[in-house]
Amino acid sequence: MSDTPELTPAEPRRVVVGVAGSIAAYKAPFVIRALREAGHEVKTVPTEAALRFIGAPALAAVSGAPVSSGVFDDPAAVEHVAVGEWAELVVVAPASADLLARVAAGRADDLLTATILTTTAPVMLAPAMHTQMWLNPATQENVATLRRRGLTVLTPDSGRLTGKDSGVGRLPEPDRIVTEALALLESSDVEGRSNGLEGRRVVVSAGGTREPIDPVRFLGNRSSGRQGCAIARAAAVRGARVTLAAAHVDASILARLPASVEVIPVNTALELNDVVRHLCTDADAVVMAAAVADYRPATVSAAKIKKHGLEDDETGPVPPPVITLVENPDILAGLVSDPPRGEDGRTLVVGFAAETGDEDGDVLSHGVAKAWRKGADLLAVNAVGPALGFGDVPNAVVVLDAQGREVARASGSKDDVARALVDLIAERLENN
C-alpha cells in the first residue's frame, strides 16, 4: 500500500509584494504572511509614500527579509533589475491611483516601478483608493491599458472608505488577493507542462444537499464545500472550463473561486442529480465532491410541523411525528451505469468516499467496497470525523480505481489535495 506515489504540494516560489501609498497599506502584512504560510519566499518593496503609512521594520519582520524602496538603496546589487529578475510573481497590494498611473506610463522612478518594468513574471495589482479616483477616466484608462498589456488588475471592493464615505475603491480582502495571486502562480507553474486542461470541460459538485421536511426544517450534513471548491479552482487554474454545482456553500468560500468558474446553486439531491446529469452531457470529467443525502422525507409538509406534544388532551401527550424517508438516486453510480454523454465520448467520473470506519472494517476497506459498488474511474477515500475531513482542516486521501486498487495518495491542505487530484484527472484525460 505504501509504495504508491505521494502526490506533492506546490513548490515554493519567489514573490515580490509591492506596497503603494494608501491607508490600506496596513493590510499588506496579511498578504505577505499568507503567501509565506503557503510556503513561498517574499521580498517586499514599498514605495516612499507607503512608508508614511506603514513602517519598514514591520514589513521586514513579516517578510523575514530587509525591505528597500529606492533604486539607490543598494546600487552595487543593481536592484532595479535584480528584483524583477528574481520575481516569479509581482503582487502590488495596495496599488494607489498614482502607482497605477506610473506603471501605465512605464515609469521607473522607484524600485517598485523599476521592478514591474523589468520583470517577465506575471504582475497583479490590487487597487485601493477613493471612489472618485477609481471612477475617474484617467484611472479607468490606466487600468484598461494595464489589462490590455496582460497585467492583472483586481476590481476593488465596495464598502466603507477611509472617511465617512463609502463606495467602490476598498482594497479587495487579503484572502481574495492571496487566492488570485496563488492562482496566477499555479497557472504560470503549469505552463508548458503536457498535462494541462485547456479546452477541457470539468463539472464539480460541492457542499451538502438539504432535504426539506417542512418550510423551515431540513435533513442536512456538515459538508462545507471547501474541498469541492478547491478542486474547481485547481481545474480552472489549469485552463479547464469549470462549472460548480454548489449545494449550500457559504458565500465566503465561493468568493475564493476564480471569476471564470460558473456556479450553479442547488438545494436537494434530486436537483443536484438533474443539474449534474445535464452538465455532464458535454463534460470531459466530473468530480462528485458534494455530500449527497442518501434519503429524503417521503412528503414535505407545506406548513410548519407543530409540536403536538403541547396540545396534550386527556389521552396524554401526542407522540412525536415520524418522518418516513425514501431513497435518493445515487448520482455518482448513475453517472457510471447510465452516462449522460451516451456514446459521445466518455466522461471521466471521480467520486469521494467519506468514511469513519466501524466494526465491519476500517476506512480503506470501506473505500475499496465503495469503489466496486460505484464503479467511478477514481475514488478519493478520506477519513471523516469531528476533527477530520469536514470544514477548514487538512485532508488526506487515498485514491482508488474502479477495482479498488490504490492509484495514489495525497495529503496536506484541501488545495494540496485538490491539485493532486486534478493532476491525476489531467493525466487520465491525456492518456485516454
Of 150, 100, 143, 148, the C-alpha closest to 121 is 150
- Annotate each residue in 375-394 with x if it binds ligand CTP (CB under 6 A) or - if it does not, as one string: --------------------
Q: How far is the CB of 277 from ligand CTP (least distance, A)?
A: 11
Residue 343 cell numbers, joined: 456514446
Among 239, 294, 321, 411, the residue binding ligand CTP under the rule CB under 6 A is 294
Of 429, 403, 400, 402, the C-alpha closest to 285 is 429
Q: Which CB sits closer to ligand CTP, 239 or 334?
A: 334
Question: 304 among the known binding-site residues?
Answer: yes
Query: What is the amino acid identity at position 244?
Result: L
Q: Burial of 316 by CB count in 10 Å (0-12 exposed, 13-18 middle, 19+ buried)?
A: exposed
Give residues 141-200 in contact with ligand CTP (rule: CB under 6 A).
none
Among 54, 206, 254, 332, the residue binding ligand CTP under the rule CB under 6 A is 332
Q: How far apart are CA 66 and CA 44, in angstroms?
A: 8
With contact defined as beta carbons under 8 Å apart, do 83 and 110 qualify? no
In sequence order, what E strands does 237-306 have?
241-247, 262-266, 285-288, 295-297
- Annotate each residue in 69-108 with x if it binds ligand CTP (CB under 6 A) or - if it does not, as one string: ----------------------------------------
Among 269, 368, 371, 422, the residue binding ligand CTP under the rule CB under 6 A is 269
Query: What is the amino acid identity at position 275?
Result: V
Position 353 contacts ligand CTP (CB under 6 A): yes
Among 352, 382, 422, 426, the residue binding ligand CTP under the rule CB under 6 A is 352
Q: How far is the CB of 384 from ligand CTP (least distance, A)?
A: 8
Position 280 contacts ligand CTP (CB under 6 A): no
Contact range with ligand CTP by CB under 6 A, out of 193-201, 248-256, 302-310, 351-359:
351-359
Position 400 contacts ligand CTP (CB under 6 A): no
Q: Which CB sits closer to ligand CTP, 282 or 294?
A: 294
3-class secondary structure, 302:
coil
Question: Angle 407-273-203 (CA atoms, 0-180°, nearest 5)?
Answer: 50
Residue 144 cell numbers, joined: 484598461
Q: Identify any residues that bridge with 212 across adjacent strands, giving them in sequence order.
A: 218
Q: How far is the CB of 337 from ligand CTP (least distance, A)?
A: 12
Question: 294 among the known binding-site residues?
Answer: yes
Q: How would DSSP label each residue in 62-117? A: HHTS----STTSSGGGTHHHHHHHH-SEEEEEEE-HHHHHHHHTT--SSHHHHHHH
- Give the single-character DSSP code of 124: E
Of 393, 292, 405, the C-alpha closest to 352 is 292
Q: How far is the CB of 325 from ligand CTP (least distance, A)?
A: 12
Of 427, 344, 416, 411, the C-alpha closest to 378 is 427
Q: Which CB sits closer to ligand CTP, 196 or 404?
A: 404
Residue of 136, 142, 195, 221 with catalytic role: 221
Q: How far is the CB of 13 from ligand CTP (least distance, A)?
A: 32
Q: How far apart are CA 425 and CA 286, in angstroms?
A: 10
Question: 157 among the known binding-site residues?
Answer: no
The size of the interface with ligand CTP (CB under 6 A), counted in residues, is 14
Q: Burial of 107 by CB count in 10 Å (0-12 exposed, 13-18 middle, 19+ buried)?
A: middle
Among 292, 378, 399, 417, the residue binding ligand CTP under the rule CB under 6 A is 292
**Residue 271, CA distances (Å) to 201, 265, 274, 380, 384 in order:** 21, 10, 5, 24, 25
Residue 170: how many CA atoms within 13 Å on its side-chain side? 14
Q: Which CB sits closer to ligand CTP, 15 or 272?
A: 272
Among 90, 123, 331, 410, the residue binding ligand CTP under the rule CB under 6 A is 331
382 belongs to the catalytic site: no
Q: How far is the CB of 305 from ligand CTP (least distance, A)?
A: 25
- Annotate each residue in 300-329 with x if it binds ligand CTP (CB under 6 A) or - if it does not, as one string: ----------------------------x-
Question: 331 among the known binding-site residues?
Answer: yes
- DSSP β-ladder status, 395-400 and 378-383: antiparallel
Binding site for ligand CTP (CB under 6 A): 269, 288, 290-292, 294, 328, 330-332, 351-354
**Could you give the residue numbers annotated as active site?**
221
Numbered residues of the known binding site for CTP: 294, 304, 329-332, 352, 370, 374
Which residues participate in the annotated binding site?
A: 294, 304, 329-332, 352, 370, 374
